DNA sequence: GACGTGTATCTCACCGCTAAGGCATCCCGT
DNA sequence: ACGGGATGCCTTAGCGGTGAGATACACGTC
């Protein structure tokens, strides 16, 4: 009963017994899991004509609550991508009529991004499907194990500076 | 003491109390952690003139042991990317003289990829730095917590079909 | 020994992200 | 009032990945 990473650790132990490769037990698995999960989520997004990047922006704006308005800078921090990536995401979403950009009246540097009615309708349509997919992905863990995992991941995130407040 | 994902869960609870967004507690954190860790590892790779893709191929070949020879298909399964991605990775590595491709003598479809002496020297030079970075990334967890986390991630990976043997 | 199915690799068009830099605007100390 | 640093957003070149498809070869079956 081993996974791919156990195999990798065995190989390193044989080839480079002088090195301590134990952190790969966590980091290697994080990477593989992230790829597997993303691939799974991607199919749900595609079924609604979306990709991960577009979904992320729409979801971030939706959960911010009325009036569904954020700035590119806020979206950038939330998504952990560069400003250029946000500009391009917004270009695509705006071209599809899912968001609109407008200049701020109080700060000439700032742009308001607002979810359109179609954007809000789309994300509300996708969300239940998306959550069903996420549930399915985690179906292999009991609720208790899921709670433990979420707690450990939060600990690690906080130690890396992913704090709020 | 909350992280970004706790904030997200609060927002959804306010905006869509009808939905069970609990799986985001795991999947959202997985995604953020993966991005943060990748960004950290990238800097170490860059310091040696590498990127994640190149490092991954070189490391896979190195840990396979003498004669440091694998096929594109094996690299593809290990890296979980498409065949096109492997072709391009090998093109780049071959152009730098870090691997060589040669036709199989026994199967006309198969290509042998072999680590050159420079390739082996490079990966052995990068590895200690890379492992030091991985250690640093996990420094916020005790050994016991790291073990728990690795175990939970393996459980989830196995439930998603990432088994060997 | 011809055929059909499956496997291994490569090709190519397209897509999203990064990194670096540019420009406009705001804020603050003097 | 003003100069300098910070901030917000956009631009662009280049890179690595996907997805669909092409090509070549292997192998079992009739």
Chain B residue with minimal CA distance to A131? B21
* Block residue for tokens 């990047």: A53
What residues in B contact A13, CB-CB < 8 Å? none
Measured over the CA atoms of residue A77, residue A81, residue A85 and residue A89, the dihedral's sign is: negative
pLDDT digits (tens, 9 = 90+) for A59-82: 999 999 999 999 999 999 999 999
Q: Please report which confidence band the pLDDT of residue A165 belongs to, taking 50, 70 and 90 as the band edges.
A: low
Q: Please report which confidence band the pLDDT of residue B165 belongs to, taking 50, 70 and 90 as the band edges.
A: low
pLDDT digits (tens, 9 = 90+) for B117-157: 999 999 999 999 999 999 999 999 999 999 999 999 999 99
pTM for this model (two decimals): 0.91
* Block residue for tokens 């270009």: A91
What residues in B contact A74, CB-CB < 8 Å? none
Helices and strands: H and E segment counts in chain A: 7, 5
Which nucleotides on strand D sit less than 7 A from a protein beta carbon? Answer: 7-13, 15-21, 24-27
Chain A residue with minimal CA distance to B21? A131
Specify the 3-state DSSP secondary structure of B69: strand
User: Encoding tokens for residue A44?
Assistant: 């749900």
Nearest to A56 by CA among A38, A37, A79: A79
State how far the Cα of B155 lies from the Cα of B165, in Å rounded to an integer: 16
What residues in B contact A7, CB-CB < 8 Å? 164
Share of chain B above pLDDT 70, in %: 99
For the segment A122-141, the average pLDDT, to the nearest whole number, is 95
State how far the Cα of A125 lies from the Cα of A121, in Å rounded to an integer: 6
For the segment B76-92, the average pLDDT, to the nearest whole number, is 95
The beta-carbon neighbor of B3 closest among A15, A35, A162 is A162
A111: CB within 7 A of chain C nucleic strand: no
pLDDT value at position A161?
Answer: 86
* Cβ distance of A140 and B153 shorter than 8 Å: no
CA(B70)–C1'(D25) in Å?
A: 19
CA(A93)–C1'(C15) in Å?
A: 15
């Amino acid at each position: 009963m081993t996974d791919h990473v156990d195999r990798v650790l065995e190989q390193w132990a044989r080839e480079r017994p002088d090195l301590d490769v134990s952190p790969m037990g966590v980091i290697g698995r994080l990477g593989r899991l992230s790829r597997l999960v993303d691939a799974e989520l991607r199919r749900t997004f595609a079924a609604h004509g979306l990709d991960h990047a577009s979904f992320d922006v729409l979801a971030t704006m939706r959960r911010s609550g009325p009036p569904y308005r954020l700035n590119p800078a806020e979206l950038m921090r939330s998504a952990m991508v560069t400003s250029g990536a946000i500009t391009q995401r917004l270009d695509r979403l705006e071209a599809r009529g899912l968001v609109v950009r407008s200049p701020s009246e109080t700060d000439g540097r700032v742009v308001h991004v607002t979810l359109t009615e179609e954007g809000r309708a789309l994300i509300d349509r996708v969300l239940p499907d998306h959550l069903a997919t996420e549930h399915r992905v985690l179906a292999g863990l009991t609720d208790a194990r899921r709670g433990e995992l979420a707690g450990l991941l939060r600990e690690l995130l906080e130690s890396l500076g992913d704090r709020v407040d």
